[in-house]
Amino acid sequence: MELFIPGGEIPLPPAPKPVSRYSSSPSYSAPVNPGVVVPSGTFINPLSNCPGYVYIRGYAPWHGGVDLAKPGGCWINAAGNGRVIRAGWGYAGEGFHVVIDHGGGIWTRYYHGTRQFGVSTGDSVSAGQSILYMGCTGYCTGTHLHFEVVLNGVRVNPEAYVRVR
């Protein structure tokens, strides 16, 4: 049996020191955040390891997600366990982005990153895993993450699933 508490928080272990997943350029290496255990159907803040970000815009019928900004950017983390179904460039304003399928008809979308990816299409990810570096690509007005939760093909308010402020 699983229990989902809207707005609930799952305590995170202390953030580990970033470790390179790749042996190439350190500037393109996503830090690994092992040890985060998140039950299926629950999510963590995708910027939980990014202190100092600012909530700049919320969900509305014309804006299907929340915008979280930090000058200079930071690594964006997977909000939950799942499989990457898209990691690349979007031609409808998304810029560089990642989409994760969490099962049960739930997807999360992370838009406007740089071309610094920590994952590729087809990868399995764990909650808290670094997936994309925050940027300003596609249709954007400054460095930020546009974060969406999609339930059965319909964008819903992410704040009903994860605390971001």
Q: Both tokens of residue 30? A: 């996503």
Q: What is the pLDDT of residues 79-92, one digit of tens each?
A: 999 999 999 999 99
pTM, full prediction: 0.77
Which sequence spans correspond to the domains of the chain? 26-160
Band of residue 30 on the pLDDT scale cut at 50, 70, 90: low
Average pLDDT over residues 116-144: 96
What are the residues whose beta carbons fall under 8 Å from the beta carbon of 51, sequence distance 6 or more? none
What tens digit of pLDDT does each residue of 130-143 get? Answer: 999 999 999 998 99
**CATH 3.50.50.60 describes domain 26-160:** no
Mean pLDDT of the chain: 82
Q: Give the separation between CA 87 and CA 107, rounded to whole angstroms.
A: 13
Compute the chain's Rg from CA coordinates.
15
Which percentage of the chain shows pLDDT scores above 70? 75
